[in-house]
């Protein structure tokens, strides 16, 4: 494999400060490369001004920088620049679709279809909308393998379905869902599709034209960018139907005391002073991603998690949740007789950062009949050595606990 994880890792200052850190929590947030940190620092140091309203040079330049990130999104995800509205991240993006598209269209007796492996961010907003309108939140079950039950999906999808919302890569199980197949079947019945790409954007080649989804959302902080910023993709067909649900300055055409008219998507959704530096930082993260070959970097993450799955199996006394045929660099496991929080604390003593808990997928864990798991999640800066350190420390833990 030609992917050089060590030279990639060298671009992340945190590993210079903490050379022994084994960071296996990239599903929660990725580390940031020096190029992104520099762009953020330069923006606040030398380029800071509010956008869209100033005629002076700094403001015009800040506006250009802010707007040109849409081009970078378009290039990264194979779409058009004006298909992307900025938002604070995946959670806000989903809420914008729920409030701005779904609620005005949803009626009593309608259904919204989601999978049982959704993050709370892609569950609660739909659930609240259904509750408000007397609609039903319908759940596609997940098999013990960690894969969507396709037969159940086909049974649940119907003319009553007003939206299919699904995660691309499960943040708990690592499953890669067959988005294209599900989207095609939904579209055959005229059902729009929202894709939660929080764990896939930046990890694998994400081609929105090819997937044909109607909405897609992700957070920059999981793809080497800053927190508090992300993007909402909306396909051409839905732009007029996605209404503003956040109101204020910057997003309007005309305002009188009697009424307001809004700019078209995307600007109509971006009321208020946005996270300008965040957008610029997200642009730097997209530039960084453009230097990678995502097929190769994905293969690297996949190889690491495959190695981990095999070594955990070989160790014994460890249960891995799910064994999907298509998976990304995320694995959830349980060490026999040891609470996941104790596992994470023990690993932390050895400078290994993993996450323990329900990973914001409580209903999924309930179906798996566990209150919590330990989760290791990989990124481009992880190496085989990281896997070896994790496995060796788990071995120590098992001996210590016996
Ligand atoms: C699959 C998935 N969806 C949504 C989210 C929510 O992302 P954010 O908190 O950045 O809005 C996460 C975060 O972990 C996630 O993994």
Which pLDDT band, with edges at 50, 70 and 90, does 99 fall under?
very high
Atom of ligand 1 nearest to the CA of 222: 10
| β partners of residue 85 | 232
Would you list the domain boundaries of the chain? 5-24+294-401, 37-290
Atom of ligand 1 nearest to the CA of 230: 10
Cα–Cα distance measured from residue 379 to residue 25, given in angstroms and rounded to the nearest whole number: 9
Choose one of 124, 167, 198, 221 to mutate for the ligand 1 pocket test, by most ligand atoms within 8 angstroms of C-beta. Answer: 198
pLDDT at 1 over 70: no
CA of 225 to the centre of ligand 1 (A): 14
Same CATH topology for 5-24+294-401 and 37-290: the answer is no
Cα–Cα distance measured from residue 312 to residue 263, given in angstroms and rounded to the nearest whole number: 54
Report the top-level CATH class of 37-290: alpha beta
Q: What is the pLDDT of residue 73?
A: 98
Q: What is the pLDDT of residue 327?
A: 98
Atom 14 (ligand 1) nearest CA = 28
Ligand 1 pocket by Cβ (under 6 Å): 27, 89-91, 119, 121-122, 167, 171, 196, 198-199, 219
- Residues identified as active-site: 360
Cα–Cα distance measured from residue 399 to residue 335, given in angstroms and rounded to the nearest whole number: 12
Q: What is the pLDDT of residue 2?
A: 76
Per the listing, tokens 């996270």 go with: 275
CA of 360 to the centre of ligand 1 (A): 8
Residues contacting residue 345 through CB under 8 Å, at least 6 positions apart = none
- Looking at domain 5-24+294-401, its CATH architecture is Alpha-Beta Complex (3.90)
Cα–Cα distance measured from residue 359 to residue 376, given in angstroms and rounded to the nearest whole number: 11
Atom 16 (ligand 1) nearest CA = 171
Choose one of 88, 90, 285 to mutate for the ligand 1 pocket test, by most ligand atoms within 8 angstroms of C-beta. Answer: 90
Mean pLDDT, the chain, as a whole number? 97
Which tens digit of pLDDT belongs to each residue from 274-294? Answer: 999 999 999 999 999 999 999
């Amino acid at each position: 494999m030609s992917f050089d994880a060590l030279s990639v890792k060298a671009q992340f200052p945190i590993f210079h400060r903490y050379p022994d850190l084994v960071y296996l929590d990239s599903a929660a947030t990725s580390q940031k490369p020096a190029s992104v940190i520099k762009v953020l620092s330069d923006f606040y140091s030398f380029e800071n001004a509010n956008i869209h309203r100033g005629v002076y040079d700094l403001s015009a330049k800040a506006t250009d920088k802010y707007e040109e990130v849409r081009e970078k999104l378009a290039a990264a995800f194979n779409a058009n620049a004006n298909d992307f509205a900025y938002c604070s991240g995946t959670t806000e993006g989903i809420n914008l679709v729920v409030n701005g598209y779904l609620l005005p269209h949803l009626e009593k007796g309608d259904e919204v279809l989601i999978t049982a492996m959704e993050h709370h961010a892609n569950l609660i907003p739909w659930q609240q909308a259904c509750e408000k309108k007397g609609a039903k939140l319908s759940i596609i079950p997940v098999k013990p393998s960690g894969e969507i039950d396709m037969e159940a999906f086909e049974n649940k999808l119907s003319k009553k379905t007003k939206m299919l919302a699904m995660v691309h890569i499960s943040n708990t199980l690592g499953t890669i869902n067959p988005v294209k197949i599900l989207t095609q079947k939904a579209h055959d019945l005229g059902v729009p599709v929202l894709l939660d790409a929080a764990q896939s954007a930046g990890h694998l080649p994400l081609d929105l034209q090819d997937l044909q989804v109607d909405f897609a959302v992700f957070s920059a902080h999981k793809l080497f960018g800053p927190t508090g910023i992300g993007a909402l993709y909306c396909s051409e067909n839905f732009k007029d139907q996605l209404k503003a649900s956040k109101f204020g300055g910057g997003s309007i055409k005309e305002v009188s005391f009697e009424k307001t008219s809004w700019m078209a998507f995307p600007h109509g959704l971006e009321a208020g002073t946005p996270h300008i530096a965040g957008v610029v930082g997200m642009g730097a993260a997209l530039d960084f991603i453009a230097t990678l070959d995502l097929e190769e970097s994905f293969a690297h993450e996949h190889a690491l998690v495959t190695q981990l799955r095999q070594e955990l199996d070989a160790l014994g006394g460890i249960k891995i949740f799910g064994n999907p045929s298509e998976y990304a660099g995320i694995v959830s496991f349980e060490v026999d007789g040891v609470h996941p929080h104790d596992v994470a604390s023990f690993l932390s003593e050895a400078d290994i950062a993993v996450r323990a808990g329900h990973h914001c997928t409580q209903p999924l864990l309930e179906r798996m009949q566990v209150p919590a798991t330990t989760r290791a999640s990989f990124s481009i800066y992880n190496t085989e050595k990281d896997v070896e350190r994790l496995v060796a420390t788990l071995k120590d833990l098992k001996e210590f606990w016996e």
